[in-house]
Amino acid sequence: QVQVQQWGAGLLKPSETLSLNCAVYGGSFSGFYWSWIRQPPGKGLEWIGEINHSGSDKFTPSLESRVSMSADSSNNQFSLKLTSMTAADTAVYYCARLYCTSSSCYHLWGHGTLVTVSS
């Protein structure tokens, strides 16, 4: 059963860059899309973007100018960078696998990392 393990800095100052990583265990890395999704405290979920093993990516328009993702097939890992962080970016950040059937897809989530932006 595929599992994801994520890590990265949990406390940032305004204007710093968020860097999070996610490792994939127990299954194939190639052939799937891998997502980042965040949830501000007490609020709903926001899809940030996704990437596949070959680096094909897509991002939500509201964050596209600040976000980048990368995929490392040799180590079964993918990562998220979000620049110019502000307090509004404080959230739990989840990495997730996009699981697809023959006709539809849904996300299988990691445990999440709380990222706080504060001076």
Partner 1 sequence: NFMLTQPHSVSESPGKTVTISCTRSSGSIVSNYVQWYQQRPGSAPTIVIYEDSQRPSGVPDRFSGSIDSSSNSASLTISGLRTEDEADYHCQSYDSSYHWVFGGGTKLTVL
Window contacting partner 1 (CB under 8 A); options: 9-17, 53-61, 68-76, 82-90: 53-61
Out of 1, 26, 44, 88, the only residue in the binding site for partner 1 (CB under 8 A) is 44
Q: What is the 3-state secondary structure (H, E, C) of 95-110?
A: EEEEEECCCCEEEEEC
Q: How far is the CB of 67 from partner 1 (least distance, A)?
A: 13
Q: Choose the binding region for partner 1 from 10-18, 66-74, 82-90, 103-111 (rule: CB under 8 A).
A: 103-111
Q: Which residue, chain included where needed, has tokens 């699981």?
A: 99
Q: Is 81 exposed, middle or buried (0-12, 13-18, 19+ CB in 10 A)?
A: middle
Task: Determine whether 15 is exposed, middle or buried from the number of CB atoms within 10 Å of its CB (0-12, 13-18, 19+).
Answer: exposed
AA letter at 75: N
- Residue 15 CB, shortest distance to partner 1, in Å, is 27
When asked if residue 26 is in the footprint of partner 1 (CB under 8 A), the reply is no
Judged by CB under 8 A, the residue of 45, 73, 84, 87 near partner 1 is: 45
Q: How far apart are CA 71 and CA 79, in angstroms?
A: 6
Q: Which stretch binds partner 1 (CB under 8 A): 18-26, 40-48, 65-73, 83-91?
A: 40-48
Using CB under 8 A, list all residues that contact partner 1.
Answer: 35, 37, 43-47, 58, 60-61, 94, 101, 103-112
